[in-house]
Amino acid sequence: MNPSLPVSKAPAWSAELGDFIASVNWSMDGRWLVAAGSAGPLWRLSAASGAREDEWSGHEGGTFGAVTSPREARVASVGQDGLLKLWIPGTPQPVASLSMGASWVEQVAWSPEGTLLAAAAGRRVRIVGGDGVPKVDLDPLPSTVTAVAWARDGKDLLLTSYGGVHRWDAVSRTLREPLPWKTSLISVAMSPDRRWIVAGTQEQSIQIWEMPYRPGEELAMSGYPAKVRHLAWHYSSRYLATDGGTEAMVWDCAGRGPAGTTPRILQGHSGRITALAYQRAGHLLATGGEEGEVLLWNAGKSSTAVHRLPLGAPISSLAWNHDDTALAIGTRTGLVAMASAPG
């Protein structure tokens, strides 16, 4: 802990669920959130109090994550049973259960408008409707899919594997030419203005492509102490936040871009950063660390945290609600907490 940082108030509430929290996600209306336990179960919690409103069995063998629809009261989850499941509040059993044809399913993401759902298992990616009905099965990628992310406008689905970033055009429903890079990529995100695509690599660096892609003009930012597993864009597309050690780095991508520039370095965590989340339409960046603290930053203006939330357990997941007024926090020890955004 850095004693010079301001100490926040305690979270509005916390709930002990007794399992590593693989993910936390908010409902569209902000009235509840869903926490996925890595051992299998899913919990739907009241946003007002943290009380359990539903407890679902999740996935036999373990759950990798659960995501909430941005359109309706519906939750999608994936896990080690090879299934993609859909859940509706108040219903004890999944309303849809779809085999992905593999022994486990690691990646799942709703499109921004909530009409499509992408799930990845091994080299396969399947696009289904919000009701769980299959729409498109993509041709197998050259190697295992390691990350799945939609563009903010929903026009592109980004997929990483060894050798590059693959882009599925949601309008024409075709795969575009990949963005090549001869290494294993483990995270991916497109800037909201569609100018930049960035990916974290196994070699403790990030790779950046400017759109439209021109071979030979890729950017590589290396020298990270650890692998860059988390990426977060400011809504303006100007700032890109990355983990990769005990410090968060924030790159300024305005003007001619980040090439040849020095990032703003955010120091405050004593443990490795394990989660990042920018507000959807605000300036606050939340970072969570292995030491059990969440720090809030206005990284475009200052390298000093503006708020500190001590949770006492390593942070595993962070998520802002849709109007940026509250932050959900999950930990490796099974604690889920909700904190109000500072004024």
- At 8 the pLDDT is 74
Nearest to 265 by CA among 248, 284, 288, 242: 248
| Contact criterion met (CB below 8 Å) for 104 and 121 | yes
**pLDDT tens for residues 286-338?**
999 999 999 999 999 999 999 999 999 999 999 999 999 999 999 999 999 99
Of 1-5, 16-20, 63-67, 271-275, the range with the lowest mean pLDDT is 1-5
Which secondary-structure segment (H or E) carries 71? Answer: none
Copy the structure tokens of residue 175: 């795969």
The predicted model gives 220-247 an average pLDDT of: 97
Tokens encoding 141: 């990628």
274 SS3 class = strand
Q: What is the pLDDT of residue 5?
A: 54
Work out the angle at residue 102's Cα, subtended by the Cα atoms of residues 160 and 156, and round it to the nearest 5 degrees: 30
If one counts every other C-beta atom within 10 angstroms of the C-beta of residue 191, the result is 23
| Strand ranges across the sheet with 206-210 | 185-190, 196-201, 206-210, 219-221
First to last CA, the chain: 23
Look up the CATH number of domain 230-343: 2.130.10.10
Dihedral sign, Cα of residue 71, residue 230, residue 10, residue 16? positive
pLDDT at 242: 98
Judge contact between 97 and 134, C-beta under 8 A.
no
CATH code, 11-140: 2.130.10.10
Q: What is the domain partition of the chain in residue ranges?
A: 11-140, 230-343
pLDDT at 169 over 80: yes
Residue 196 burial class via C-beta count within 10 angstroms: exposed 0-12, middle 13-18, buried 19 and up: buried
DSSP string, 86-139: EE-TT-SS-SEEEE-SSS---EEEE-TTSSEEEEEETTEEEEEETTS-EEEEPP
The two domains 11-140 and 230-343 share their CATH topology (first three levels equal): yes
* Mean pLDDT over the full length of the chain: 95
**What tens digit of pLDDT does each residue of 17-65 get?**
999 999 999 999 999 999 999 999 999 999 999 999 999 999 999 999 9
Question: Residue 125: what are its φ and ψ, rounded to 5°?
Answer: -130, 130
Percent over 90 (pLDDT), the chain: 94
